[in-house]
Structure 1
Amino acid sequence: MRTFPDSFLWGASTAAHQVEGGNVNSDMWRSEWAENSRFAEPSGDACDHYHRYPEDIATLAGLGLNAYRFGVEWARIEPEEGCFSRAALDHYRRMVGTCLEHGITPVVTYSHFSTPRWFADAGGWSNPAAADLFARYAGRVTEHIGDLVPWVCTFNEPNVISLMMHLGVIPAASRDETLGLSTSSEGQDPGGTRSGAAWAAPAVEVMAKAHRKAVDAIKSGPGNPAVGWTLALIDLQPADGGEQRCQAVRQAALLDWLDVSRDDDFVGVQTYTRERIGPDGVLPVPPEAPTTQTGWEVYPQALGHTVRLAAEHAGVPVLVTENGMATDDDDARIAYTTAALEGLAGALADGVDIRGYLHWSLLDNFEWTSGYQMTFGLIAVDRTTFTRTVKPSAHWLGKVARAGGLT
């Protein structure tokens, strides 16, 4: 038996826009309905998690898991600039309270890709005032829920566009082939249509400034949560002749961002697969390798590699905030997660400070431009009735959590 610490967090993750539904004031909602939209379908009601969170949190707890990472939605909390919704803030406080009632540790993400429409219209992260606007929002959220929340993630994967640019492809850790990423301040996505969405800035300096100001706002209280951000950490591996290029990509898209985490309480690691880099760029998946619904290589060993990289480079505790696979074969999900956890156990045995494992995702949800085609969830959701069906992988992960490790 591979044993994990008694204090280890075992849980699952969601993102507000991907599960709540009806996020009409968000830049993402607008992008989904835009002419020539790259989204396969709109998010619509998503999983109706906004109203059904009590059931979902109770199910998570009943499985034997003890942590839930979820997002608060900026576009609901501040639908117009400077206008903060007490009703939305109260909603998220109730969510946190429901977690605590069930013995679940809440891990709260303040920004998971989506932003208010007004923020995107003002230039998004290219706006010189962006960092201050985000810090004001972060401070207001913390005023309302900070006394109850032990873990806060400011941003989800702020390095994702940097990865895209340096790899020349959409990174696997973004969980989507096309994502509709905007790569310029004019809001043009790679296909040339107006995206209307304020994706993170590619420059680490821009996002680090917003992160640092938000950390200061959060640390001003109430409460004393551990604060960090989560990064998309692909296991980058050099192929013959690709060593120099691989190192350059690793530095710009991973290590420069991990440098920022050195001043934080932890770093969130989000890993799904590897990318092999040759002298001319990213290599295709080996022909004999199994792949997921997203077309990525099934490579669970990646997680053990990236948590070691993060811990070594940032020098702070690691929290695995996302790991999983898109598949309709639940046995394959269990096999993948088993191998990923074996990698974690090996890193723990070598002294790496890992605080928890949060699986992506709790629910089969809205996967950005892919719509509802990709099934990452431990729980299936009927697209018409919202009926939840717990998968065998969820029961399996709960048993692992109760046992404190793999048997």
Structure 2
Amino acid sequence: MFAVAVASALVAAPAGAAPSVAPLGPDFEWGVATSGFQAEGTPPDSNWARYVAEGRTHDPYGSGPDFRHRYAEDIANAAAMGVDTFRFSVEWARVQPRPGEWDESEFAYYDDVVREIRAHGMRPMITLDHFVFPGWAVDRGGWTRDETIDLWLANAEKVVSRYAGQDVTWITFNEPTVFVQKELTFGGLSPLDAPGALDRMVRAHRSAYDLIHRLDPGARVSSNVSYIPAAMGVIDSLFTDRVRDKLDFVGLDYYYGVSLDNLTAAAAATEAFYDVRPQPDGIYHAALHFARKYPELPIVVVENGMPSDDGKARADGYTRADHLRDHVYWLQRARQDGANVVGYNYWSITDNYEWGNYRNRFGLYTVDVLTDPTLTRRPTDAVAAYREVTASDGVPADYTPVMPDSVCSLVSPPDSCVNTGSSGN
């Protein structure tokens, strides 16, 4: 059956103008994102600070983009684009530098971040764990030990209690399966330890969901998942299926697709994300995958963005603004075809430390961390494009994507190979 679908897709090329799309509406939530270790600078002792110090990464960390001292500028830049949500993380390693010891000066910094976000009319989306945990927790075995669940929950309780009532959307773990994969890659976990580590994150999330709803009634809670084309059956079974009843929305992170005419996603295996050809129509299929699998849950795109190679223009001329508009177009298509997508965050507000290198540039604002001591934020073409998108609740009805539809998308096979939507060509 799948072979027949592939053959049909190969002979059925799209024709004519793209189907029109309706606005996403005034209640749709637009946002931007960043994370602590990647953006703050002056990192405290943690698993990732140690990976850098031990020479396991490609680039030194340097100053980082220095969100720690320039958050007001980054938050103001986000607000100027008309977004509703600013996502960041409260770093466990920063606020609890030693067991049982909480750093009030660092909490005061996060207090200011939350206050600044709200003063600009945006909602904070706070991530409790974005791949990073304290060095002292590393020394005690990290996620190989059951003890870490209680230690992690103690931090969660401290953070949630502090910011309850501030209209926060909470993310427990950022991309749990990728978290474990990176720990394997950089030596924090052995292959034998990985299943147990993921089990502990499941248990921690389930407890945190109840904790957050007790401390911050009415807040929304989730954990975002990295969408891996053609592999989501396995990925879902490792985490999302196991916490389905402890999610208020599905958090979707979509970066790349796979199709018969686009196998460049293989570059992701070597972290060369800039060599992956974007496949915007894949976000449509990813949204429909979750809409079919978890129909009771709305969908928030917690991360989506395009890496460039050290800030250089792509050889094919495809720009960050093209990428942004094309993905928003396909989200509008997904909404029309039944996926309850209620929000979208762009990753990221500035270029940052992409887990070992500065070469992968995802920022709406470019920052040359290794060569520019002033860390000047320079807008890409996507800044103006995002301002237009938020003002219009999406792209215009007659928008035609710059990147053509893929030939037999394998993002969610076999459906994605033969279906471009009920409103499609």
Q: Same fold (TM over 0.5)?
A: yes
- Counterparts of 1:65-104 in structure 2, within 5 Å, are 65-104=83-122
Aligned residue for 2:235?
A: 253
Cα contact 1:324–1:337 (8 A) shared by 2: yes
Structure 1 pair 130/75, CA: closer, same or farther in 2 (3 Å)? same
Q: Determine if the alignment matches structure 1 residue 117 to structure 2 residue 135.
A: yes
What is the percentage of aligned positions where both structures have the same residue?
A: 30
The amino acid across from 2:240 in the alignment is: L
Structure with greater contact order relative to length (CA < 8 Å, sep ≥ 6): 2
Cα contact 1:149–1:223 (8 A) shared by 2: no
Q: Determine if the alignment matches structure 1 residue 9 to structure 2 residue 18.
A: no
Aligned partners of 1:161, 1:226: CA distance in 2, in Å? 22
Aligned residue for 1:385?
A: 374
Aligned partners of 2:221, 2:32: CA distance in 1, in Å? 18
- Counterparts of 1:147-186 in structure 2, within 5 Å, are 147-160=165-178, 180=186, 182-184=188-190
Aligned residue for 1:239?
A: none
Aligned residue for 1:322?
A: 303
User: Residue 22 of structure 1: SS of its match in structure 2?
Assistant: coil
Aligned partners of 1:293, 1:214: CA distance in 2, in Å? 32
Cα contact 1:262–1:316 (8 A) shared by 2: no
Structure 1 pair 45/336, CA: closer, same or farther in 2 (3 Å)? same
Q: TM-score, normalised by structure 1?
A: 0.82
Structure 1 pair 22/130, CA: closer, same or farther in 2 (3 Å)? same
Aligned partners of 2:197, 2:144: CA distance in 1, in Å? 10
Q: Name the stretch that deviates more: 41-50 or 358-367.
A: 41-50
Aligned residue for 2:401?
A: none
Aligned partners of 2:178, 2:84: CA distance in 1, in Å? 28
User: Residue 2 of structure 1: SS of its match in structure 2?
Assistant: coil
- Counterparts of 1:113-262 in structure 2, within 5 Å, are 113-160=131-178, 180=186, 182-184=188-190, 204-236=198-230, 249-259=231-241, 260-262=243-245
Equivalent residue in structure 1 for 2:51, among 26, 31, 34: 31
Unaligned stretches of 5+ residues in structure 1: 165-169, 188-199, 237-248
Aligned residue for 1:51?
A: 69
Q: Name the stretch that deviates more: 218-227 or 387-396.
A: 218-227
Aligned residue for 1:190?
A: none
Alpha-carbon distance, 1:283 to partner = 6.5
Aligned partners of 1:27, 1:285: CA distance in 2, in Å? 28
Q: Report how many residues are paired.
A: 361
Structure 1 pair 382/284, CA: closer, same or farther in 2 (3 Å)? closer
Unaligned stretches of 5+ residues in structure 2: 1-20, 397-425
User: Residue 234 of structure 2: SS of its match in structure 1?
Assistant: helix
Aligned partners of 1:222, 1:161: CA distance in 2, in Å? 26
The amino acid across from 1:265 in the alignment is: D
Structure 1 pair 146/373, CA: closer, same or farther in 2 (3 Å)? same
Cα contact 2:320–2:380 (8 A) shared by 1: no
Q: Determine if the alignment matches structure 1 residue 273 to structure 2 residue 293.
A: no
Cα contact 1:179–1:368 (8 A) shared by 2: no
Aligned residue for 1:308?
A: 288
Alpha-carbon distance, 1:336 to partner = 2.0
Alpha-carbon distance, 1:217 to partner = 2.1
The amino acid across from 2:284 in the alignment is: G
Aligned residue for 1:372?
A: 358
Aligned partners of 2:197, 2:185: CA distance in 1, in Å? 19
Cα contact 1:300–1:340 (8 A) shared by 2: yes
Aligned partners of 1:269, 1:344: CA distance in 2, in Å? 12
Q: TM-score, normalised by structure 2?
A: 0.78
Cα contact 1:76–1:88 (8 A) shared by 2: yes
Aligned partners of 1:222, 1:253: CA distance in 2, in Å? 29
Alpha-carbon distance, 1:261 to partner = 3.0
Q: CA offsets, 1:38-74, max 9 Å, x none? A: 3112223211101110111011111222211111111
Aligned residue for 1:394?
A: 383
Equivalent residue in structure 1 for 2:274, among 278, 284, 294: 294
Q: Determine if the alignment matches structure 1 residue 105 to structure 2 residue 88.
A: no
Structure 1 pair 51/179, CA: closer, same or farther in 2 (3 Å)? farther
Structure 1 pair 292/329, CA: closer, same or farther in 2 (3 Å)? farther
Alpha-carbon distance, 1:223 to partner = 4.8
Cα contact 1:324–1:376 (8 A) shared by 2: yes
Larger radius of gyration: 2
Alpha-carbon distance, 1:337 to partner = 2.0
The amino acid across from 2:164 in the alignment is: G
Aligned partners of 1:378, 1:91: CA distance in 2, in Å? 24
Cα contact 1:159–1:202 (8 A) shared by 2: no
Higher strand proportion: 1
Q: CA offsets, 1:115-156, max 9 Å, x none? A: 101111211111111211111110100111122133000010
The amino acid across from 2:297 in the alignment is: V
Q: Name the stretch that deviates more: 333-342 or 10-19.
A: 333-342
Alpha-carbon distance, 1:264 to partner = 1.2
The amino acid across from 1:184 in the alignment is: S
Structure 1 pair 351/377, CA: closer, same or farther in 2 (3 Å)? same
Cα contact 2:325–2:385 (8 A) shared by 1: no
Aligned partners of 2:123, 2:116: CA distance in 1, in Å? 10
Aligned residue for 2:321?
A: 334
Aligned partners of 1:92, 1:339: CA distance in 2, in Å? 34
The amino acid across from 2:233 in the alignment is: Q
User: Residue 368 of structure 1: SS of its match in structure 2?
Assistant: coil
